[in-house]
Amino acid sequence: MTADGFQMLLEGAWITVWISLLAIALGVPLGLLFSLIRVSRLPVLSQIITLYVSVGRATPLITLVLFLFVALPAIGLDIDKYTASVLTLTLNTASFNTEIWRSTYLSFPKSQIEAAQAMGMTRGLYFRRIMLPQMFYTALPALLNEMTFLIKASPAIAVVGIVDLTRVTNRIASQTYEPLPPIIIAGVIYMLSIGSLVRLQRVLEDRRKRYASA
Amino acid sequence: MARPDSDPVLKALNITKSFGALQVLHGVSLEINSGKTVSILGPSGSGKSTLLRCINWLERPNSGEIYLDGEPVGRHPNGELMSDRELAAIRARMGKVFQSFNLWPHFTVLENVIEAPVQVLGVPKAQAIEQAEQLLQKVGLQDKRDVYPYSLSGGQKQRVAIARALAMSPRVMLFDEPTSALDPELVGEVLAVMRDLTREGMTMLVVTHEMAFARDVSDEVIFMDQGEIVEQTTPDRFFSNPETRRAQQFLARYQ
Ligand SMILES: Nc1ncnc2c1ncn2[C@@H]1O[C@H](COP(=O)(O)OP(=O)(O)O)[C@@H](O)[C@H]1O
Ligand SMILES: [Mg+2]
């Protein structure tokens, strides 16, 4: 493989990484927000979120990104392929994260909430001080799991013309007629990305061990 | 606003509570005057916990009124429900100690104790820490201030929970079977702290199965059965000469 090919691979890797990270950074808090709307049972809004979650989880990424890329301009909203891609991955991962946050919220020990109420804490205060810090650690394994799925599913965005890590290996292969080296390198880069998430999980789990015996 | 000592700190009037078709409280009324300790006894399932939960509105009573220092709890005089914020403000003036401690596991002992004073009352952190250290000393746990709850014994957890409630300088302390979840050898250390509180003039409402505590420490005993108060009298009279058959049967089981 040429130095040129290598350069292309790194560029593709960079695109995969920043688009995925941006979608994760938006999708995790968005999922939390949506889950709170759902558990609050706010009329209409909560039903909209329920619908969004079932549609979001059922729609393939390719379908979603094509839809956004084609449909939004049709109603007069200009959208470039990068925005469409980030939006697609964010909407997809947020729908899964909504369910993760929701079940974490619902399984939070009532006894701790009652203690907080009995001490005179308002709902917002005990959510922020008592629930969220613990919910974060409880949700973490599932959230990180979802992040690895997102990264592995991200090649779907190539369909709107994004040259991500997977797409770039095809390009190099079609130029060099040697598909194996770029595929192997790309595989290693995916593994490293996901490996660093797993590592992050371990570091954060260790922090939680400060206060949990197991 | 100072009130004459003769006004009850806590007053419950005709509290009723049902869960679906099951009526758990049939019009319960009680009063506690400042500095008094009132014990509530009764068989399990008689509605003691529900009554305590209604008093600080962790459970919404179906009817009846509750007053803390003469101010209504849960509903305004016009019947309107209090907002979350109003309810929180009034709960902040009642301490509650739970059977299962309910400490916040992600906070150290000290953090558990200062959390509400700092976040709810706005006490400056340094001042809250100083007060918390005094309270931890009072319950005999000053050397545990920086550990997390999981490393404590049940008795130690409950003493932290008492310190946490006291940190709000409550007008009244509500205890719901504070020693029932403890190994027998740990019951004494918690009761000792509660005895100290009584002696210092804290106003306390204590649901308990510790007959010796109820007899020796309380100013008044309330005996509940099937969602109503059956006897309400001095500990001496209740233990030596219970009037009703239900109380006699109950005591026979505990002595
Ligand atoms: N949240 C609830 N939902 C349904 N039933 C309840 C609930 N809480 C308590 N009860 C019932 O109310 C009755 C009184 O319970 P409780 O107040 O806990 O009694 P005690 O504390 O005297 O043992 C019991 O029959 C119990 O099963
Ligand atoms: Mg009970």
Three-state secondary structure readout of B109-157: HHHHHHHHHHHCCCCCHHHHHHHHHHHHHHCCCHHHCCCCHHHCCHHHH
Residue in chain A nearest B117 by alpha carbon: A119
Select from A125, A104, A113 the least CA-distant residue to B98.
Answer: A113
Task: Please tell me the pTM assigned to this model.
Answer: 0.92
Give me the torsion for CA of A6, A7, A13, A19, rounded to 10°: -160
What distance separates the 2 farthest-apart alpha carbons in chain A?
A: 70
pLDDT in tens, A90-131: 999 999 999 999 999 999 999 999 999 999 999 999 999 999
Alpha-carbon distance B243 to nearest alpha carbon in chain A (angstroms): 35
Test site for ligand 1: of B16, B18, B24, B39, most ligand atoms within 8 A of the Cβ? B24
pLDDT in tens, B195-220: 999 999 999 999 999 999 999 999 99
Q: What percentage of chain B exceeds 70 in pLDDT?
A: 97
**DSSP bridge pairs for B241:** none
* DSSP single-letter state for residue B183: -
- Ion ligand 2, residues whose Cβ is below 5 A away: B 49
Other CB atoms within 10 A of residue B71 CB: 10
* Contact criterion met (CB < 8 Å) for A211 and B119: no
Residue in chain B nearest A123 by alpha carbon: B84
Written as one letter, the residue type at A103 is S
* Contact criterion met (CB < 8 Å) for A122 and B88: yes
Written as one letter, the residue type at B255 is Q
Select from A8, A2, A23 the least CA-distant residue to A148.
Answer: A23
Which residues approach ligand 1 with their CB closer than 6 A? B 19, 22, 24, 42, 44-50
pLDDT in tens, A74-85: 888 888 999 999
* Contact criterion met (CB < 8 Å) for A118 and B95: yes
Nearest CA to ligand 1 atom 24: B45
Alpha-carbon distance B238 to nearest alpha carbon in chain A (angstroms): 31
Nearest CA to ligand 1 atom 13: B45
pLDDT in tens, A135-176: 999 999 999 999 999 999 999 999 888 888 999 998 898 888
Q: Which residues of A touch B121 (CB under 8 A)?
A: 120
Tokens of B200: 């210092």
What is the distance between the alpha carbons of residues A209 and A128, in angstroms, rounded to a whole number?
20
Select from B24, B6, B5 the least CA-distant residue to B15.
Answer: B24
* DSSP single-letter state for residue A158: G
Q: Which residues of B touch A116 (CB under 8 A)?
A: 104
